[in-house]
Amino acid sequence: MQFSEEELINGCIKGDRLMQKMLYERFCKRMLAVCLRYSKAQQEAEDILQESFIKIFDHIKTFRRECPLEQWIKRIVINTALKHNRSKLYMYPALDIEDLEKPVDENITLSDFHYKELLEMIQQLAPRYQIVFNLYAIEGFQHKEIAQMLGITEGTSKSQFARARALLQQMIIEKKRVNYERYT
Amino acid sequence: MKDIPKHSFEEEFRKAFEEAEATPSPKLWAQIDADLANKEASQYKRKLYIYKLRVAAAAVIAFGFLGIWVLSSQFSGSSLADLPQQTNGSQSNTQTGNAPADGSVPETGTDTPALAQNSSTRSAENSPESASTESNHDNVLAGKNKLAGENNKQTQQSNRSRIAGNGSNISATAPEALALSSETEKVRKSANQPVKEKSMINPTTPAIAKNTNKAKSVAKEPATVLPAAPATKNQITEEEKNIALLPETTTTSPITPAANTPVATRTDFSQTGPAAGNFSAYTFSHINRQVEHLEDNMNLQAPSVRVKPNPNVYIEEEKEVEGGKSVSRWAVGLSFAPSQFNPNIQVNPQASASLSHVRNSYFNTAAPVSTGNTIQPNAVVGKELENAQSVNLSYNVGMNVNYALSKKFSLQSGLLYLYNQSQITTDNYLQNISNQEKYPEFMALIQPAASNSNNLQLYSDPLPASAPTMDAALQNITDRYATSYPGVTEVMVYNMYQYLSIPLSLHYKLIDKKVSTHVGAGVAADVFMKNTIGNPEENITNQEFNRNNNGPYRKMGFSGLVSAKVKYKISSRYSVYVEPSYRTALTPFTNSLIVSSRPNAFGIGTGFQYRF
């Protein structure tokens, strides 16, 4: 039986465990994909997802329906992931934007890659690069917003994003080269 | 969020992850479910904690009010209005208080002419020498009578002020008639003799002399007055009938008892029956014994039950961990509890009458009394005892030992010193003219022998050492009082009980937090140390009853205890607590047939506890 979002929300507000499970099942796969982008492994991502859903069920009565439910849930998942990774954000010294290497190739296309391959590359980044790249490139936040969310300067956010972007480009080129050699 | 330019590097990534999905492990929902359940449980616990806290607060408040109510109801329960139900003689007391001195009360019946004869006879019997030797002293005291009459309280005036108002014209017949009529009716009732209905007794008509003589003769028949055997036997008979039904009912059941099943018989009770006060306890134990016998004879055996160990039973280690520290189950504490103490004295009117009949007969046949009319029937004496009130501070202080049986239950014992005070207000006393010492009449009920000796000493004081008999001495003195007794005022007589108590109680912890609440119930063995009765400031010499002087107090009594405790944990080892408690006697604390005391006390204890 397919419940509407409204029914799921109301059921969860009442603490109906069945509705909570339905809501979980509806969004868990997409949210796990989000968690995986902010973590290094499946187990860590599942920990984040578990914590996120507990928060979701706790606070669903505060959901004001001003945005789609999925967006609200995703925001909670991202916040939980950030909280989970906050301690890792300052493990590496920040680079100035001027110190960055020039992009390797601006015309890189990703259509040849499955998302899991791209996910593996993102997971190989240092945590702060991984987070800033996710927030800027995939979630679409501005550097100013990212700086506020992470408690860093806007410049730091930009520099870390640039570094992450460059690293990913290098990884993609390398991957393309390996694939090319494999098939030729 | 910014607008990401199409086909940029970031756009490529975003598109790649737009529809990305990953399957979580199947157990993830189970973990979330468990987390949610735990959260709900903790919320429930929080609500339950608040609920328990409210219940505990309500219990403490209710318990406090209950204690106060019980005490106040006991005090008010023995008020003058209730006296007719409590003592046989109370009716006569009321009549005494209401009887006008002018003799306007309806006539009493056929006994009317007799008193005059008796009065004149007594006057003739009095020796003129004794009257003349006392005349000077009597004149001085006669003046005091007037002053005392004016100073008497309004509440006392119903009885005494009329008498005092007569001043030097005090006639022996009025108070005499009052006292005699009261006493006569009381003794009549106690002797189960038919009494004609009389609303009032005319104090001017010498009606009661016959009754007095009659009463005296009746009272001298010991078999008719001493312990209330008939009533007790009636009760036993009723219980006996119930018990006798037991085997009959079992015969209708599928299990047939053995032929020699014991049946409770009348002789079982009549021969070994307890005193009336212990009857119900005795009956229950007797019934239990009968049932046990019955089961034994029927060879009933309980079916064998396989006992499974309950996995949920919490088995504690000898040491518990609290606040990161290992603490023992044992704890010791010191406590102090101010309390309100009520000796709860009940007077057995029949036994009282029988015991004091001799002394009362002196009073009745003599010609008392002047101002204050000290010589009242026993009913008044009983009333005063039953009106014993606690107004002074009582307290108990001591140490306690606590052993935690489990997380919730604990046993508590210890040693407490109880200092209980009560006071009895009385205007019913005799006074030694020479040294002004007062002798409260109720002492005659508490310790008859001591009181009699006091009376003898008092009355025989002006007589030669070779005073022939007690009768003569009393007769002499009561006549002297007819013109010389000073006014009577109320005096306070203090009772200071001292006990050592060993309580044993089981406590249940309702809330186990930094502020924990407990309820407890148990019993206490109270060892009598001594009781001092008196008031030296009022010229009432202290009289001490202790374990050795054969007083009326049992050497040990048992009390029931209930309490509610709120404990604040200062640290893992130290805590302080407040503990309202109520204790009531389970057994009488006196071994007297006349006076029965089942004290109760309500206190609010404070204490300090150390856990090893």
| Cα distances (angstroms) measured from residue A169 to each of A109, A128, A140 | 10, 17, 19
Does B32 reach chain A within 8 Å, measured CB to CB?
yes
Percent of chain B with pLDDT over 70: 40
Q: For residue range B36-63, what is the model confidence (pLDDT) as tens digits?
A: 999 888 888 888 888 877 887 787 777 7
Do the beta carbons of residue A63 and residue A5 sit within 8 Å?
no
* pTM for the predicted model, two decimal places: 0.39
- Residue in B14, B22, B36 closest to A20 by CB: B36
Between CA B10 and CA A29 the distance in angstroms is: 23
Residue in chain B closest to A116 (alpha carbons) equals B20
Asked if B17's CB is within 8 angstroms of A29's CB, the reply is no
Q: Does B40 touch chain A (CB under 8 A)?
A: yes
Do B12 and A17 make contact, defined as CB atoms within 8 angstroms?
no
**pLDDT above 70: residue B68:** no
Lowest mean pLDDT among A51-60, B33-42, B132-141: B132-141
pLDDT one-digit tens code per residue, B415-431: 999 999 888 877 666 66
> Could you tell me which residue, B77 or B20, shows the higher pLDDT?
B20
Alpha-carbon distance of B276 to B59, in angstroms, equals 35
Tell me the mean pLDDT in the region A149-172: 89
Q: Name which of B4, B25, B31 is nearest A140 (Cβ-Cβ).
A: B4
pLDDT per residue over B221-279, tens digit each? 443 333 433 444 444 444 444 444 444 433 334 433 444 444 434 334 334 444 444 44
Alpha-carbon gap, residue B79 to A66, rounded angstroms: 75
Q: Does B303 touch chain A (CB under 8 A)?
A: no
Interface predicted TM-score (ipTM) of this complex, two decimals: 0.86
Q: Which helix (H) or strand (E) holds B504?
A: strand B491-511
DSSP string, A22-77: HHHHHHHHHHHHHHHHTSSSHHHHHHHHHHHHHHHHHHGGG--SSS-HHHHHHHHH
Per the CB < 8 A criterion, the answer to whether B56 and B511 are in contact is yes
Residue B324 burial (C-beta neighbours within 10 Å; 0-12, 13-18, 19+):
exposed
Query: Closest Cα of chain A to B45: distance in Å?
Result: 17
Question: B1 to chain A: which residues are within 8 Å by CB?
Answer: 139-142, 145
Please state, in angstroms and rounded to a whole number, the distance separating the CA atoms of residues B107 and B89: 20
For residues B118-132, give the mean pLDDT.
40
Assess B12–A contact: CB distance below 8 Å, yes or no.
Answer: yes
Please compute the mean of the pLDDT values over residues B562-582 and round it to a whole number. Answer: 90
Percent of chain A with pLDDT over 90: 48
The Cα–Cα gap between B284 and B581 comes to 28
Helices H, strands E: what count in chain A?
8, 0
Residue that wins the pLDDT comparison between B187 and A174? A174
Q: Do B21 and A111 touch (CB under 8 A)?
A: no
CB contact under 8 A, B9 and A115: no
In chain A, what residues touch B28 (CB-CB under 8 Å)?
28, 46, 49-50
CB proximity B27 to A under 8 Å: no
Closest CA to B105 of B207, B211, B212, B210: B207
Decide if A129 touches B, using CB distance below 8 A.
no
Report residue B387's pLDDT band, with 50, 70 and 90 as the boundaries.
Answer: low
Mutation for A interface: B2, B3, B17, most A CBs within 10 A: B17
Q: How many CB pairs under 8 A join A and B?
A: 91
- Are B21 and A113 in contact (CB < 8 Å)? no
Q: State which residue of chain B sits closest to A24, comparing Cα positions.
A: B29
Most confident of B421-425, B489-493, B508-512: B508-512
Q: How far is CA A68 from the centre of its chain?
A: 18
User: Quick one: closest CA in B to A30, which residue?
Assistant: B21
Per the CB < 8 A criterion, the answer to whether B208 and B186 are in contact is no
pLDDT at B292: 55
Integer Cα distance of B477 and B460 in angstroms? 8
> What pLDDT is stored for residue B482 in this prediction?
41
Q: Which of B2, B15, B21 sits opposite A29 (nearest CB)?
A: B21
Q: What's the pLDDT band for B170 if we cut at 50, 70, 90?
A: very low
Instruction: Report the half-sphere exposure of B287 (CA within 13 A, side-chain side).
Output: 15
